[in-house]
Chains A and B, each alone.
Chain A
């Protein structure tokens, strides 16, 4: 039984990111892998899981969630053992070393990623994003929608999830998006990210299953249509597929 845990949906559930867990469970079941989805609200002890999903949220709830997870310690312990993590937006920031709290002061994160987030100046990064994944990840272009003010700097111990083709990602300067560390992935992409990028969902499932299951092919024709349409939307704007430094759209 594969268990997918949605961590603190009451605090980190603002941008449809709960959909990531629905995608993981469905894609496991369609391959005949028994899977269950567990919602883990912040007032109950975090249950054991194979894959943990952290979503986006507002500043206050984000800080509260981080405090609870740090005090409990079980998420970090599970990830150090064999757990898999998908952390999105506010969740990505929580999984780093530190992020800005409600008052702008630095709040300690879980340290899953060697990453520090600070509050960006100027406009929020809002819009469609295209990311070329890092070479070691066997997945195609990532598509999603970002909506954040935070600027994330990766330390030397954590690689980026990919390079920004269009959009902002971790910061306007770095051209990097998200983070990969062991079997944890962090990203700013909503959409939800796994709905738009089934290969990333399958990668997380493979990490979690190890030799417990084989993921056969399934019909992703509708998702392919969605991906084609989203990637083509950049071309429709006649801006072409420039590098991120041209992309302050």
Chain B
């Protein structure tokens, strides 16, 4: 606690009081066994000094990561990459605390001058960007998520656009944030196009239902399913008649069909092979976004790629562990866009699938989004529905024509999944939304198999 205290002496009195209070609260919280306690300390510190985020980011370089899906994973990948270029530990917020209180909680205990990578809730991007004057902002995607408590997705794109515009204007010094933005998502392009310094990346977004309406004119965004990738001129994968069109990306992913992994291809023609432990094409996209963010910090792409290759799980996600005696791969999906990616991922593996749905506040209390997910693709698989809203899921699966069992208790559901499967060695795929995933994985005690 004393290692970094000296630097706070230069802070205004209010900030010093806020920092010290947060330290005490964090220490107490840890002693009581309430985990990292960073949110408690951060919340109180924020109440004492509303400008504290500005003070605590003034002496360091900051990267922000935001988007509906993949931000926890991309944050972790970017931390790993930046660690290669930093002699002190890179600061980052712990999972599930991606609002300013969580950012403060992490920064209060950080080394002076250490770079920070902050995962930012979509709704707080403007606030955190204004305070931190981030060096890099990584924008992954925007899609419907928890409509009962968050803004509609177009409104979110508009707020991002305003935030990034004012960020571009603020600095006359040439020090504007570099925005690494997903060119495949029209809502992200709408948000980022007004920014002075954008690196466009083809980060993928298979879910399109939120961006078939043009964010600019309300007209129709037309997707070109087979854009020409070999020609000299850029063939945009989407465009609207009003002139709003996919910008040309500086990097994209080419999957390797003959071996593991995939390559990042840069516009100049260079290729960089990546072999991640994390599964799924979407994670290669996340890694590419992180790689381009790390490049702005001076970390070479090859160095970033080798660092990211060592990440095997993200807060329990993608981990394989024994839960209630059942070998289980743990996956998290909480909205239709996330489900679209995971359905493709599990289509490659043959094991039984256990799906857990809760509808607590953190999950969103309206699970009608289940009807936006193409569960029809699970026909023929062994499927068990679990969680507090297992009956909503069961009804959805019935109408999708997917045979299934219902087992409200998640661990019992894993056992049922194993019993139902003929091939007894198959790993159970568990896909849960936020709180049911947390319950299952936290209770497993982290026994990887």
Q: Which A residues are closer than 8 A to B by beta carbons?
A: 9-11, 13-19, 22-23, 26, 41-43, 58, 60-61, 64, 126-128, 145, 147, 190-192, 195-196, 222-223, 225-226, 229
Contacts and interface: CB of A to CB of B under 8 A. Distances in A.
A126 B213 contact: no
A18 B218 contact: no
B372 A16 contact: yes
Interface stretch (B17-25, B46-54, B393-401, B435-443): B393-401
A16 B370 contact: yes
A147 B147 CA distance: 8
Contact of B394 (A10, A16, A18, A226): A226
Contacts of A10: 209, 212-213, 220
Contacts of A191: 368
A146 B365 CA distance: 11
A15 B400 CA distance: 18
Given A18-B372, A145-B148, A195 B395 contact: yes
Given A17-B371, A41-B212, A225-B394, 19 more contacts: A9-B209, A10-B213, A10-B220, A14-B147, A14-B152, A16-B368, A16-B369, A16-B370, A42-B220, A126-B148, A127-B365, A128-B365, A145-B368, A191-B368, A195-B395, A195-B399, A222-B394, A222-B406, A225-B406
Nearest to B397: A222
Contacts of B406: 222, 225
Contacts, number: 83
A61 B218 contact: yes
A58 B210 CA distance: 11
B126 to A, nearest CB: 20
A22 B371 contact: yes
Contacts of B365: 127-128, 145
Interface residues of B, number: 28
14 contacts: A9-B209, A10-B209, A10-B220, A14-B147, A16-B372, A17-B368, A41-B220, A127-B148, A127-B365, A145-B368, A147-B148, A195-B395, A223-B395, A225-B406
A14 B394 contact: no
A195 B396 contact: yes
Contacts of A16: 368-372
Contact of A18 (B213, B371, B391): B371
B144 interface: yes
Contacts of B213: 10-11, 60-61, 64
A146 to B, nearest CB: 9
Interface string B330-368: 000000000000000000000000000000000001101
A222 B366 contact: no
Interface in B383-422: 391-392, 394-396, 398-400, 406
B154 interface: yes
Contact of B391 (A19, A26, A58, A229): A229
A239 to B, nearest CB: 15
Contacts of B372: 13, 16, 18
A16 B368 CA distance: 5
Nearest to B155: A58
Given A13-B209, A43-B220, A127-B365, A192 B371 contact: yes
B368 A192 contact: yes
A195 B152 CA distance: 23
Given A192-B371, A226-B391, A15 B398 contact: no
**Most chain B beta-carbon contacts within 10 A, residue among A23, A147, A192, A222:** A222
A15 B147 contact: yes
B368 A15 contact: yes
Interface in B153-198: 154-155
A42 B147 CA distance: 23
B220 A14 contact: no
Contacts of B369: 15-16
A190 B144 CA distance: 15
A39 B45 CA distance: 52
Contact of A195 (B212, B366, B371): B371
Nearest to B213: A61
Nearest to B376: A22
A19 B371 contact: yes
Nearest to A190: B368
Contacts of A147: 147-148, 366
Nearest to A60: B218
Nearest to B371: A19
Interface string B127-152: 00000000000000000100111001
Contacts of A127: 148, 365
Given A10-B220, A14-B152, A26 B366 contact: no
A61 B213 CA distance: 8
A47 B366 CA distance: 31
A14 B371 contact: no
B142 to A, nearest CB: 13
Contacts of B155: 58
